[in-house]
């Protein structure tokens, strides 16, 4: 009996010590509870794509081109292939500190066309620049063609490199995240700055608009990483999509009005769960692991599949966060990058361990 009373008292003590937080205290917008209205999963058959060359790195796809950002290469960051022939087209984005070289660039998150040329834009903080890579001219000439735009990343920020993601909206503006910064490393980072988004000009380095997604952080271990998320921008530049890793929550940010809306699956944890989780960030359950998109749909890869076979399950949402379909792409051996070819409406997966590439036709399932 004494042990039973002690157990009850311990529970009450833990409850009294728990941090009591509500959604409205943490999130700077309305959170809507949504149901999983799509019960059936569409089985898809992928076609394996064989490349003739080194296919290791972080991939990206556009039309007939496949890119691998490979940080292990000695002289370049990128290798490009022709998807139709499997042939290597060349090495690009030279490493170094000389003219036309960069100390570091991220993997490709976005493609766009300008004056008929395919391009992408990088943050190059070690070069204090934005770098616009003209992919079309690079492949045509066999040499990297890109423009360096001087940029002081520390302007308006306490951090040297505040953005881990940037997305070009037009030839004048981009939107980027502002990473959370730990304020007390010696105390397991229980205090941190709030992550947010901002819109800035490309050529004059002027902040145009801020998007504060959160009102306050959580007083817990690894608070600088607890709101970790993945981003993408609707190709028309009107909205930004963010899915949280440690909550089943999707956030849609209107880039014109600044309005923020959250969507959380019914019966899944809330911010109180994050605040009172006893372990560190890495021990928390994870829900999603990758996102690709076009102007109609958002495709999110489930972190660990949803069945005993460990299959790669992809949730398909529209931009109003309505769940449209669930796709089963087959067994996920280790980790599959999810890629989308907007031109041909093809979904690709890349397995980092086996280096295998599979292609799935979205037209075959009405998407």
Q: Write the CB contacts of 145 (distance below 8 Å, at least 6 apart in sequence).
A: 133, 134, 137, 138
Environment class of residue 326 by beta-carbon count within 10 Å: exposed (0-12), middle (13-18) or buried (19+)?
middle
What pLDDT sits at residue 335? 57
Residue 308: CB atoms within 10 A of its CB come to: 6
DSSP string, 136-180: HHHHHHTS--EEEEE--TTTT-SSSS--S-EEE-SSSEEEEEE--
Integer CA distances (angstroms), 112 to 62, 65, 102, 148, 328, in order: 10, 14, 21, 17, 29
Q: Which of 227-241, 242-256, 306-320 has the lowest mean pLDDT?
A: 306-320
Cα–Cα distance measured from residue 310 to residue 331, given in angstroms and rounded to the nearest whole number: 6
Cα–Cα distance measured from residue 235 to residue 113, given in angstroms and rounded to the nearest whole number: 11
Q: What is the CA radius of gyration of the chain?
A: 22
- Does residue 180 belong to any structural domain of this protein? yes
Mean pLDDT within 65-92: 95
What pLDDT sits at residue 43? 93
What pLDDT sits at residue 310? 76
- The CATH number assigned to the domain holding 72 equals 2.120.10.30
- Does residue 163 belong to any structural domain of this protein? yes
3-state helix, strand, coil in the chain (%, to 5): 15, 40, 45
Number of domains present in the structure of the chain: 1
Integer CA distances (angstroms), 325 to 85, 299, 314, 364, 365, in order: 32, 9, 8, 13, 9
Cα–Cα distance measured from residue 269 to residue 249, given in angstroms and rounded to the nearest whole number: 9
| Tens digit of each residue's pLDDT (9 = 90 or more) over 260-274 | 999 999 999 999 999
- Does residue 107 belong to any structural domain of this protein? yes
Q: Is the pLDDT of residue 102 over 90?
A: yes
Nearest to 121 by CA among 200, 63, 57, 196: 200
For 12-43, b/e burial (b = at least 16 CB within 10 A) is eeeeeeeeebeeeebbbbebeebeeeeeebbe
Q: Write the CB contacts of 85 (distance below 8 Å, at least 6 apart in sequence).
A: none
Mean pLDDT within 198-218: 94
Cα–Cα distance measured from residue 265 to residue 300, given in angstroms and rounded to the nearest whole number: 14
Q: Is the pLDDT of residue 21 over 90?
A: no
What pLDDT sits at residue 141? 97
What pLDDT sits at residue 129? 93
Residue 218: CB atoms within 10 A of its CB come to: 22
Mean pLDDT within 232-260: 93
Task: Output the six-digit token pair for 346.
Answer: 């093809």
- Does residue 12 belong to any structural domain of this protein? no
Strand extents, DSSP E, 224-362: 229-233, 239-244, 249-254, 260-265, 288-293, 297-302, 311-318, 323-331, 336-341, 346-351, 357-361
What pLDDT sits at residue 354? 82
Q: Is the pLDDT of residue 17 over 90?
A: no
- Does residue 323 belong to any structural domain of this protein? yes
| Tens digit of each residue's pLDDT (9 = 90 or more) over 305-356 | 666 677 888 999 999 999 999 999 987 655 578 999 999 999 999 987 788 8
Nearest to 329 by CA among 355, 360, 298, 308: 360
Task: Answer for the pair 249, 264: CB distance below 8 angstroms, yes or no.
Answer: yes
- Does residue 123 belong to any structural domain of this protein? yes
HEC profile of 173-207: EEEEEECCCECCHHHCCCCECCCEEEEEECCCCCE
Cα–Cα distance measured from residue 92 to residue 80, given in angstroms and rounded to the nearest whole number: 8
Residue 257: give the domain boundaries: 20-365
- Does residue 184 belong to any structural domain of this protein? yes
Nearest to 338 by CA among 294, 272, 291: 291
Task: Answer for the pair 317, 297: CB distance below 8 angstroms, yes or no.
Answer: yes
């Amino acid at each position: 009996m004494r042990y039973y009373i002690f157990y009850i008292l311990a529970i009450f003590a833990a409850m009294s010590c728990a941090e009591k937080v509500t959604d409205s205290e943490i999130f700077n917008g309305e959170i809507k509870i949504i149901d999983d209205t799509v019960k059936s999963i569409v089985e898809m058959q992928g076609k394996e794509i064989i490349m003739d060359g080194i296919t290791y790195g972080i991939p990206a796809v556009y039309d007939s081109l496949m890119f691998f950002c490979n940080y292990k290469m000695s002289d370049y960051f990128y290798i490009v292939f022709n998807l139709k022939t499997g042939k290597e087209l060349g090495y690009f984005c030279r490493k170094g500190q000389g003219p036309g070289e960069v100390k570091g660039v991220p993997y490709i998150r976005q493609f766009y066309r300008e004056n008929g040329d395919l391009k992408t834009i990088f943050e190059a903080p070690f070069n204090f620049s934005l770098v616009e890579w003209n992919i079309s001219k690079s492949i045509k000439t066999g040499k990297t063609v890109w423009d360096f735009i001087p940029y002081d990343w520390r302007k308006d920020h306490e951090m040297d490199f505040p953005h881990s993601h940037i997305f070009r909206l037009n030839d004048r503006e981009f939107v980027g995240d502002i990473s959370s910064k730990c304020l007390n490393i010696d105390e397991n980072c229980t205090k941190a700055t709030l992550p947010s988004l901002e819109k800035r000009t490309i050529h004059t380095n002027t902040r145009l608009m801020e998007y504060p997604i959160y009102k306050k952080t959580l007083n817990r271990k690894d608070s600088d990483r607890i709101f970790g998320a993945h981003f993408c921008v609707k190709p028309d530049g009107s909205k930004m999509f963010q899915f949280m890793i440690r909550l089943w929550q999707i956030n849609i940010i209107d880039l014109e009005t600044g309005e923020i809306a959250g969507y959380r699956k019914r019966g899944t944890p809330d911010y109180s769960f994050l605040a009172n989780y006893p372990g560190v960030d890495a021990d928390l359950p994870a829900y999603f692991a990758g996102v690709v998109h076009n102007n109609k749909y958002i495709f999110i890869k489930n972190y660990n599949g949803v069945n005993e076979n460990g299959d790669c399950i992809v949730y398909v949402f529209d931009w109003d966060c309505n769940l449209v379909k669930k796709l089963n792409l087959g067994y996920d051996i280790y980790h599959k990058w999810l890629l989308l070819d907007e031109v041909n409406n093809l979904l690709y997966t890349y397995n980092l361990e086996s280096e295998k590439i599979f292609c799935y036709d979205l037209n075959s399932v009405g998407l």
